[in-house]
């Protein structure tokens, strides 16, 4: 049975969009090559993404290493949480999630048990695949991160990053200073991430090496109103909220303003990026009718996330595919890195007006305290600041030891101070895009077959900003100077940064069809009239209509058409 997926992937391979990697040695599941045209499409989509996030939003892009040291991924939770406890059934060789087996038989918190403890618990249970009692099995952890070593001698563990986000989080301090100590600010990264999927399938939908475009937007935890919310306040599209899902209902269309007011979306920031994502996906060629935003159900959401939505794109083959995740991750990540690293990961936010606050200060009498407690004196003095002293003295805990400090060894003062600001740990709003999935969706949604005079015409209806080849230049015949004029036109456009492809091989109709199949939006043909009156025909891919225009207008017209500043229909 051949469906759109087969047709699209066949075209993708033949025409150089995407193909399996290292075919001569046998491909490896989960890895793909982008061919010449696919690489162009990918770059164009990434650049459009930058247009939205870097240029429009002002969230500058950074690049971090794809290999990260262990500490970073201990903090992020990937070393622990990104691994599954697995075992292999001795009877049928099936790999099983050991914690799932246990939980299915009402053993609580199975995921938190050690491997040995878990092995003990499940030895009496039946294998869910073959029903044989598992008996003595070894439970092992399978971590989805690719592991490597840094430097010779294997001293330091390194991991290939499973997401680009952590690189941004750990740079928080420097980024904050770059943005001159003000919230909110955002930083983005586009790059490869790696996950050693147990069984990747579905073509380019689940890859072991894939490209993510992530934005991390650091906002004040109490100020989740987006400064430019009005831009999308009236932007409307269907939302499949968790409540609708739980009640078994369909998606409902809201404006962003309504959705925030009704509490469907947690805050303006999340709503703003849902809308921006909708606009971006439609701009790159995703059909609005096959795009929906689904809210994570309470049990599906990461425990720290305040709200989380997926942009899902409908594929004829795969159904609804999660392509973009938009989450309010709260301060989870920054807090985790603060605890692991000892750095503060906070921003000092000044108040508009200094606030006069009463503060109690405890001044230790170091002249007495020092000789009495010796090495511990400094720690005791610090600890005193944190406790409420009793009438006779204060009890502090230093290195686990309880020490009673008599009241005559310190002086308690109430003083009024100007408090000019406060350290806050920002919350993170994270839109995270799977670029490869977006590209697949665009390929599938752009693919059309139509009958033209008894022949099937295959055409990729890419938006012109995404199309790999932007214009094709043909001489009607490759002689009589037509070819020379066509090459000159191609050259002129190329010097403007337009990818113009010259082609003089075969009948003109065949050349049009070739360009249709790779989605080239426009074709310019030089004919015998061109030599007389310096006009050429401009042909539109989608309507196949032609219009005659002066050759000298091409240099302005073609870029305008490709950037959507002008439309072909306005020329007719």
Partner RNA sequence: GCAUCGAUGGUCUAGAGGUAUGACUUUGGCCUUCCAAGCCAAUAGCUCGGGUUCGAAUCCCGAUCGGUGCACCA
Helices 268-284 & 36-50, crossing angle to 10 degrees? 150
Does residue 549 bind RNA (CB under 7 A)? no
Q: Which of 46, 47, 197, 488 binds RNA (CB under 7 A)?
A: 197
Instruction: Work out whether strand 147-150 and strand 18-20 pair parallel, antiparallel, or are unpaired.
Output: unpaired
Q: Which of 4, 7, 27, 566 binds RNA (CB under 7 A)?
A: 27
Q: Which of 203, 285, 431, 468 binds RNA (CB under 7 A)?
A: 203
Say how many residues touch RNA, by CB under 7 A.
Answer: 68
Does residue 249 bind RNA (CB under 7 A)? no
CB 389 within 8 A of CB 412: yes
Residues 6+ apart with CB under 8 A from 401: none
Does residue 458 bind RNA (CB under 7 A)? yes
Q: Which of 7, 47, 100, 488 binds RNA (CB under 7 A)?
A: 100
Instruction: Work out whether strand 319-328 and strand 307-315 pair parallel, antiparallel, or are unpaired.
Output: antiparallel
Of the two residues 255 and 537, which places its CB atom closer to RNA in the complex? Answer: 537
Does residue 82 bind RNA (CB under 7 A)? yes
Does residue 542 bind RNA (CB under 7 A)? no
Residues 6+ apart with CB under 8 A from 378: none
Exposed e or buried b per residue across 208-239, where buried means at least 16 C-beta atoms within 10 angstroms of its C-beta: bbbbbbbbbbbbbeebbebeebeebbebbbbb
Does residue 512 bind RNA (CB under 7 A)? yes
Residues 6+ apart with CB under 8 A from 67: 148, 150, 158, 159, 160, 161
Does residue 93 bind RNA (CB under 7 A)? yes
Does residue 546 bind RNA (CB under 7 A)? yes
Does residue 50 bind RNA (CB under 7 A)? no
Exposed e or buried b per residue across 124-134, where buried means at least 16 C-beta atoms within 10 angstroms of its C-beta: ebbbeeeeeeb
Give least dist CB 506 to RNA, A.
6
CB 318 within 8 A of CB 202: yes
Of the two residues 341 and 546, which places its CB atom closer to RNA in the complex? Answer: 546
Does residue 163 bind RNA (CB under 7 A)? yes
**Among 445, 442, 422, 424, CA closest to 433:** 442
What is the distance between the alpha carbons of residues 83 and 139, in angstroms, rounded to a whole number?
Answer: 12
Of the two residues 197 and 488, which places its CB atom closer to RNA in the complex? Answer: 197
What is the distance between the alpha carbons of residues 181 and 544, in angstroms, rounded to a whole number?
Answer: 55
Q: Which of 60, 517, 559, 571 binds RNA (CB under 7 A)?
A: 517
DSSP designation for 141:
E
What is the distance between the alpha carbons of residues 295 and 327, in angstroms, rounded to a whole number?
Answer: 10
Residues 6+ apart with CB under 8 A from 231: 272
Does residue 447 bind RNA (CB under 7 A)? no
Give least dist CB 319 to RNA, A.
10
Does residue 201 bind RNA (CB under 7 A)? yes
Question: What is the distance, to the nearest Å, from the Cα of residue 556 to the centroid of all Cα atoms in its chain?
Answer: 35
Radius of gyration of the chain (CA): 31
Part in contact with RNA (CB under 7 A); list of ranges 9-17, 174-182, 242-250, 368-376: 9-17
Give least dist CB 335 to RNA, A.
16
Part in contact with RNA (CB under 7 A); list of ranges 47-55, 274-282, 346-354, 471-479: 471-479
Does residue 399 bind RNA (CB under 7 A)? no
Residues that bind RNA (CB under 7 A): 10, 13-14, 20, 26-30, 77, 81-82, 84, 92-97, 100, 128-129, 144, 162-163, 195, 197-203, 206, 302, 317, 452-453, 455-458, 476-479, 505-510, 512-514, 516-517, 525-529, 536-537, 539, 544-546
């Amino acid at each position: 049975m051949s469906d759109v997926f087969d047709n699209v992937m066949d075209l993708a391979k033949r025409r150089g969009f995407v193909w399996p990697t290292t075919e001569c040695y046998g491909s490896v599941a989960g890895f793909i090559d982008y061919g010449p045209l696919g690489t162009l499409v990918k770059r164009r989509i990434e650049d459009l993404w930058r247009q939205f996030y870097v240029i429009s939003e002002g969230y500058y892009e950074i690049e971090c290493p794809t290999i990260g040291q262990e500490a970073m991924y201990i903090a992020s939770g990937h070393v622990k949480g990104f691994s599954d406890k697995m075992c292999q059934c001795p009877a049928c060789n099936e790999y099983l999630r050991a914690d799932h087996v246990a939980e299915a038989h009402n053993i609580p918190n199975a995921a938190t048990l050690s491997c040995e403890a878990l092995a003990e618990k499940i030895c009496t249970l039946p294998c869910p695949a073959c029903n044989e009692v598992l008996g003595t099995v070894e439970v092992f952890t399978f971590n989805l991160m690719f592991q490597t070593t840094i430097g010779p001698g294997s001293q330091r563990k390194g991991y290939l990053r499973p997401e680009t986000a952590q690189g941004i989080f750990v740079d928080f301090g420097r980024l904050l200073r770059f943005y001159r100590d003000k919230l909110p600010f955002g930083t983005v990264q586009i790059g490869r991430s790696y996950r050693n999927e147990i069984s990747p399938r579905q073509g380019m939908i689940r890859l072991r090496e894939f490209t993510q475009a992530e934005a991390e937007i650091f906002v004040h935890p109490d100020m989740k109103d987006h400064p430019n919310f009005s831009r999308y306040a009236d932007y409307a599209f269907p939302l499949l909220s968790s409540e609708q899902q739980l009640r078994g209902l369909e998606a409902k269309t809201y404006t962003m303003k309504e959705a925030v007011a009704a509490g469907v979306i947690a805050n303006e920031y999340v709503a703003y990026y849902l809308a921006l994502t909708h606009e971006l996906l439609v701009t790159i060629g995703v059909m609005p009718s096959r795009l929906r935003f689904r809210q994570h159900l309470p049990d599906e959401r990461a425990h720290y996330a305040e709200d989380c939505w997926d942009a899902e794109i409908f594929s004829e083959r795969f159904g609804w595919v999660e392509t973009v995740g938009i989450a309010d991750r709260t301060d989870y990540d920054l807090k985790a890195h603060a605890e692991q690293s000892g750095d503060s990961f906070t921003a000092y936010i000044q108040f508009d007006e200094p606030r006069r606050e009463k503060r109690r200060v405890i001044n230790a009498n170091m002249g007495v305290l020092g000789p009495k407690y010796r090495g511990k004196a400094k720690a005791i003095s610090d600890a005193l600041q944190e406790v409420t002293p009793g009438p006779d003295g204060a009890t502090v805990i230093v290195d686990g030891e309880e020490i009673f400090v008599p009241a005559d060894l310190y002086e308690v003062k109430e003083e009024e101070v100007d408090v000019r600001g406060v350290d806050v740990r920002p919350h993170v709003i994270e839109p995270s895009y799977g670029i490869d999935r977006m590209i697949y969706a665009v390929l599938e949604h752009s693919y059309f077959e139509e009958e033209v005079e008894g022949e099937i015409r295959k055409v990729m209806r890419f938006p012109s900003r995404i199309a790999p080849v932007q214009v094709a230049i043909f001489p009607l015949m490759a002689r009589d100077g037509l070819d020379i004029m066509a090459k000159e036109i191609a050259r002129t456009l190329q010097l403007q940064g337009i990818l113009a492809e010259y082609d003089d091989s075969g009948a003109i109709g065949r050349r049009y069809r070739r360009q249709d199949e790779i989605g080239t939006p426009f074709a310019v043909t030089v004919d015998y009239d061109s030599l007389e009156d310096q006009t050429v025909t401009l042909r539109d891919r989608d309507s196949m209509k032609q219009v005659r225009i002066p050759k000298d207008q091409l240099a302005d017209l073609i870029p305008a058409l490709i950037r959507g500043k002008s439309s072909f229909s306005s020329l007719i």
